[in-house]
A and B are shown apart, each in its own frame.
Chain A
Amino acid sequence: MENILEVKNLHVSFDTYGGEVQAVRGVSFDLKKGETLAIVGESGSGKSVTTRALAKLIPSPPGRIKEGEILFEGKDLATLSEREMQKIRGKDISTIFQDPMTSLNPTMKIGTQVMEGLLKHNKISKKEARKRTLELLELVGLPEPEKRIDQYPHQFSGGQRQRIVIAIALACGPKILIADEPTTALDVTIQAQILELMKDIQKKVDSSIIFITHDLGVVANVADRVAVMYAGKIVEIGTADEIFYNPKHPYTWGLLGSMPTLDNEEESLIAIPGSPPDMLNPPIGDAFATRNEYAMEIDFVEQPPMFKVSDTHYAATWLLHEHAPKVEPPLAVQSRMKDNLHANVPEERKKEGDRS
């Protein structure tokens, strides 16, 4: 399939009083047309920064894209001017943010907020824009759009607000839709509704979606491919099946092991010990080494390169090196890998899983 976006060796840093915080340290991935790529990682792994950098929404100063390319339709977004970016933002690349309570302008009617992008990027009249807005609000499942289009954000619940935010993002039919933890700030029941909506939209519009989350359960639901990020780098990337059934990186094992399952009572959760490194002074070797029970001496000396597992599956761990001792993932993770299929993976994917 055709690549719509290629990110090559992206570095993003923030200049703070304490020094340079290297939030993203050489991230490369591509996004294919119509696919959903999930980026998974714990807080501070650089996943949000990466995607904000794509639309150049990093506040600058203090943030800056230090090096790397963001190729979108042949253009390198990293080198575009602010004015040129304004034409791309909202039209070609749009973003859904995490917290619907704060991501809407409290003193502007929601209709106006949805319309704003439409009027900016399309040569249409206000009347047409309003009509289109009503359609969008309908699409995202906001009840009684006619009545509510002229209301202010505080008159909506969190879930409704997130629907509005999604409507804003969808307004101009973007080629790439970035969803930055769109369900994290919501109640569990509302989360499910918004996820359903996202999947629904995935089918209706042909946008490519980058879905950021720290919740593997969500990933299993929506993603075609998964990238696992740790300490500003992608440590493992592959199709959803590869990541769930054949994970190679100990960090991915940790993530899978820390996911609760319903039907395995006797197994306890495996917690990843420690916390992510300080990005002010990233460690020399593998950033995960100090928390990794499978760490080898090499991990403390040199950063592992991306090892190829299959055409679509890569992982950055020395365990895949030919000299490395043979290591199996912990038993709990192994059984969980299989259990996960039955617990969380939807029907259609379960069949694929059986085949592999």
Chain B
Amino acid sequence: MSNEPNKDLFVMAKDREDTSEKINRPSLTFWQDSWMRLRKNKGALFGMIVLILIVLMAIFGPIFSSHGLDDQDLSLSRMPPKVQGLENFSWLGLDGKNRETFEADTIELAEQRALARFQQPDTEFIEAEVKQEPNNETGELAVVEYAFDKYAAQGVDEYFWFGTDTLGRDLFTRVWLGTRISLLIALVAAFIDMLVGVAYGGISAYFGGRTDTIMQRIIEVLIGIPNLVVVILMIMILDPGIVAIIIALTITGWTGMARIVRGQVLKLKGQEFVLASRTLGASHTRILTKHLIPNTIGLIIINAMFTIPNAIFFEAFLSFIGLGLQAPDTSLGTLINDGFKALQVNPYIMIFPAIVMSLIMIGFNILADGLRDALDPKMRE
């Protein structure tokens, strides 16, 4: 050996602290640990931020707007969206102008069509942009895009950020109020599902035996009934409204939660740490609150998070097939449905509520995915 070690070191080592058993990582509670992992998940974080913004807008949004929910003014119907400061970015479509492209043999003909379309006597408020000159030899048509400034034409000074609907109601106000209702329905439905499901599943599993068998038979039959069918039947008995929709969504909606809770509690009940606790004389309450509930809560939260977008979807779906909320109640579903009727001419009426709804659905789905990863103790490293 070239590097002969120091001779003095060949003495028995003094007692040192054995560091091999030392725990290097800080000890975290379940929630701290979950939160840490959720924070690392960019998708879930994005979903959470989007949801917080939407909830804030649903609560405070209508306050920013000077227009009420049902302020109808037919003279202000179908105003395109116009936002302060964004007027010069025409591609955003938030400059308060209706844009449409016309094709005709000559530019003049195209202009006549545009005037007829916008119901204007002259081109005072209409800007034209020729996209293609007509050409008689090749047979190419004139293609002209006209931008009609409805705000100027009607002398409107106000700004309708999301435009107005066919009855002249401000869409910005309506979209956020609709969001409020949709979220309310979804949250209440998810909460009831959770309450009933946890109680049913918990009782079924904790008592076991005959109780469990009977309760499971009932669930098996209920689960066989398609959700769609139940919802439609319930809506038909009850007068369509917020309460009816919530009842319809929850009447069999809790079965999924009940099954999950039952499965988890059954699994936990047989596990050694619960048996150990029981052997040591722990009371039912203690076992429930210290062992069973904390180990089930993650699953419950995750499942509830997936219930919410599902409820929002069903509410919108019901509006779509004519079984949803009736005027004057507004939800994202009714707004989108209204927007469809005017889709071909004024797409923005549908697009804004559709965007908000999609964002809510995406937000909840990715947040729930993230939570599933974060709360699953098996993933802890």
| A and B touching (Cβ–Cβ under 8 A) | yes
**A residues touching B (Cβ–Cβ < 8 Å)?**
18, 273-278, 289-291, 294-302, 305, 318, 321, 323-325
Residues of A contacting B12 in the complex (Cβ-Cβ under 8 angstroms): 294-296, 325
Q: Is the CB of A274 within 8 A of B20?
A: yes
Name the residue in A277, A291, A297, A325 with the highest tally of chain B Cβ atoms < 10 Å from its Cβ: A297
Q: Is the CB of B1 within 8 A of A297?
A: no
C-alpha spacing A321/B12, complex, angstroms = 13
Q: Is the CB of B18 within 8 A of A296?
A: no
B117 at the interface (CB under 8 A from A): no
Report the minimum CB–CB distance from B11 to chain A (whole Å): 6
What are 8 A-B contacts with C-beta separation under 8 Å? A18-B381, A273-B18, A274-B18, A276-B20, A278-B24, A298-B10, A321-B5, A325-B12
- B5 touches which one: A275, A277, A302 (CB < 8 A)? A302
Q: Is the CB of A324 within 8 A of B10?
A: yes
**Known A-B contacts A290-B16, A305-B1; A274 and B9 likewise in contact (beta carbons under 8 Å):** no
**Known A-B contacts A302-B5, A305-B1, A323-B7; A297 and B13 likewise in contact (beta carbons under 8 Å):** yes
Residues of A contacting B21 in the complex (Cβ-Cβ under 8 angstroms): 274-275
B19 at the interface (CB under 8 A from A): yes
**B residues touching A (Cβ–Cβ < 8 Å)?**
1, 5-13, 16, 18-21, 24, 381
Q: Is the CB of A297 within 8 A of B9?
A: yes
Residues of B contacting A274 in the complex (Cβ-Cβ under 8 angstroms): 18, 20-21
Residues of A contacting B7 in the complex (Cβ-Cβ under 8 angstroms): 323
Report the minimum CB–CB distance from A211 to chain B (whole Å): 28
7 extra interchain contacts, Cβ-Cβ under 8 A, other than A274-B21, A323-B10? A278-B24, A290-B18, A296-B10, A297-B13, A298-B9, A302-B5, A305-B1
Q: Which residue of B lies closest to A274 (CB)?
A: B20
Report the minimum CB–CB distance from A237 to chain B (whole Å): 19
C-alpha spacing A250/B140, complex, angstroms = 93
Q: Is the CB of B20 within 8 A of A277?
A: yes
**Known A-B contacts A274-B21, A290-B20, A291-B18; A301 and B13 likewise in contact (beta carbons under 8 Å):** no
C-alpha spacing A325/B10, complex, angstroms = 7
Residues of B contacting A324 in the complex (Cβ-Cβ under 8 angstroms): 10
Residues of B contacting A325 in the complex (Cβ-Cβ under 8 angstroms): 10-12
Residues of B contacting A273 in the complex (Cβ-Cβ under 8 angstroms): 18
C-alpha spacing A321/B9, complex, angstroms = 11
Interface of B is mostly: loop
C-alpha spacing A300/B8, complex, angstroms = 13
Report the minimum CB–CB distance from A224 to chain B (whole Å): 30
**Known A-B contacts A278-B24, A325-B11; A298 and B6 likewise in contact (beta carbons under 8 Å):** yes
Residues of B contacting A295 in the complex (Cβ-Cβ under 8 angstroms): 12-13
Q: Is the CB of B19 within 8 A of A290?
A: yes
C-alpha spacing A325/B12, complex, angstroms = 8
C-alpha spacing A275/B16, complex, angstroms = 15
7 shortest interchain CB distances as A-B pairs: A298-B9, A274-B20, A323-B10, A295-B13, A297-B9, A290-B20, A324-B10
Q: Is the CB of B20 within 8 A of A291?
A: yes
C-alpha spacing A296/B5, complex, angstroms = 12
Residues of B contacting A298 in the complex (Cβ-Cβ under 8 angstroms): 5-6, 9-10
Q: Is the CB of B10 within 8 A of A321?
A: yes
Report the minimum CB–CB distance from B5 to chain A (whole Å): 6
Residues of A contacting B24 in the complex (Cβ-Cβ under 8 angstroms): 278
Report the minimum CB–CB distance from B4 to chain A (whole Å): 9
Q: Which residue of B lies closest to A319 (CB)?
A: B10
Residues of B contacting A300 in the complex (Cβ-Cβ under 8 angstroms): 13, 16
Q: Which residue of A lies closest to B8 (CB)?
A: A297
C-alpha spacing A276/B20, complex, angstroms = 7
Report the minimum CB–CB distance from B36 to chain A (whole Å): 12
Report the minimum CB–CB distance from B288 to chain A (whole Å): 34
C-alpha spacing A324/B8, complex, angstroms = 10
Residues of B contacting A299 in the complex (Cβ-Cβ under 8 angstroms): 13
Q: Is the CB of A318 within 8 A of B18?
A: no
C-alpha spacing A300/B5, complex, angstroms = 12
Report the minimum CB–CB distance from B303 to chain A (whole Å): 28
C-alpha spacing A169/B13, complex, angstroms = 48
Report the minimum CB–CB distance from B28 to chain A (whole Å): 15
Residues of A contacting B5 in the complex (Cβ-Cβ under 8 angstroms): 298, 301-302, 318, 321
C-alpha spacing A17/B8, complex, angstroms = 41
Residues of B contacting A321 in the complex (Cβ-Cβ under 8 angstroms): 5, 10
